[in-house]
């Protein structure tokens, strides 16, 4: 029987941005304080992070205002769970944009899971997305050997925790399915950023193809009971239950 995992949100910063950046076609003029969530997952003797958040708010504020409150640094957020960086043995990056991967280097003892296609894309992204990949994922302590490049769909990291391929926001985007006491929770990354992505449905504001984005939203709705979107403004710090029910996506 697969293990049941406990999932907590940890907040690793805030981006003040127009909602049109998260919901394609949304009218300009609605400015939100968009949270940067990571998922801290515990179970089966493992401590796992899905995404690692931002580290340098000043650098990214050249695009939109970014802030990291003292309690939102990676060390402070983990400490409130009773975790230390060295306790984290597994990191899954939904994709390698800065707001999902800038703290990767804080975990030199972890095993990382990134899709093979995302790894290749990040090395030479399109000009429209190149700025979001302006970080380092390796150094002297965290090398390419720490990264497992996932090249197939429905990849089980451990029983009860599965990576699924959800391209659209980027070509190599992936999401994570977690067996919890409340059913299967999808940590969606940016495949879905706001509930409108699923209920309309519509792609995230930044995407590389509408059809593939919509197919990924449909896939998430078919395989999960609840959803943790990594920029959902309606979640709360250290939330561990009551995540939104996944809407049923109907495509034309």
Domains of the chain, each with CATH number or no CATH: 6-229 (3.60.15.10)
CA angle 31, 37, 41 (to 5 degrees): 165
Interval 30-74: pLDDT, tens: 999 999 999 999 999 999 999 999 999 999 999 899 999 999 999
Residue 178, pLDDT > 80, answer yes
Please name which of 48, 25, 26, 204 lies closest in space to residue 132, comparing C-alpha atoms: 204
Per-residue confidence (pLDDT) for residue 131, from 0 to 100: 96
Per-residue confidence (pLDDT) for residue 2, from 0 to 100: 65
Interval 72-102: pLDDT, tens: 999 999 999 999 999 999 999 999 999 999 9
Please name which of 29, 16, 26 lies closest in space to residue 60, comparing C-alpha atoms: 16
Interval 2-12: pLDDT, tens: 679 999 999 99
Per-residue confidence (pLDDT) for residue 3, from 0 to 100: 75
**How far is the C-alpha of 18 from the C-alpha of 9, rounded, in Å?**
23
Q: CB atoms < 10 A from the CB of 107, how many? A: 22
Calculate mean pLDDT across residues 194-202: 96
């Amino acid at each position: 029987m697969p293990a049941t995992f406990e999932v907590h949100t940890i907040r690793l910063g805030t981006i003040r941005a127009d909602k049109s950046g998260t919901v394609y076609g949304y009218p300009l003029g609605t400015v939100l304080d968009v949270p940067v969530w990571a998922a801290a997952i515990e179970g089966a003797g493992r401590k796992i992070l899905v995404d690692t958040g931002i580290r340098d708010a000043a650098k990214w504020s050249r695009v939109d205002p970014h802030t990291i409150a003292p309690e939102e640094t990676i060390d402070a957020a983990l400490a409130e769970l009773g975790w230390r960086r060295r306790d984290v043995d597994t990191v899954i990056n939904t994709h390698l944009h800065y707001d999902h991967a800038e703290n990767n280097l804080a975990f030199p003892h972890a095993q990382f899971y990134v899709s093979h296609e995302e790894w290749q894309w990040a090395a030479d992204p399109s000009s429209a997305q190149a700025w979001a990949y302006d970080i380092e994922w390796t150094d002297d302590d965290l090398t390419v050997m720490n990264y497992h490049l996932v090249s197939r769909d429905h990849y089980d990291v451990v029983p009860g925790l599965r990576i699924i391929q959800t391209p659209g926001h980027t070509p190599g985007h992936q999401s994570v399915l977690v067996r919890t006491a409340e059913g299967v929770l999808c940590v969606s990354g940016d495949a879905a950023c706001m509930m409108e992505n699923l209920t309309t449905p519509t792609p995230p504001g930044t995407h590389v193809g509408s059809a593939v984005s919509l197919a990924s939203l449909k896939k998430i709705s078919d395989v999960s009971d609840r959803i943790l979107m990594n920029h959902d403004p309606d979640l709360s710090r250290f939330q561990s239950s009551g995540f939104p029910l996944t809407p049923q996506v109907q495509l034309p």
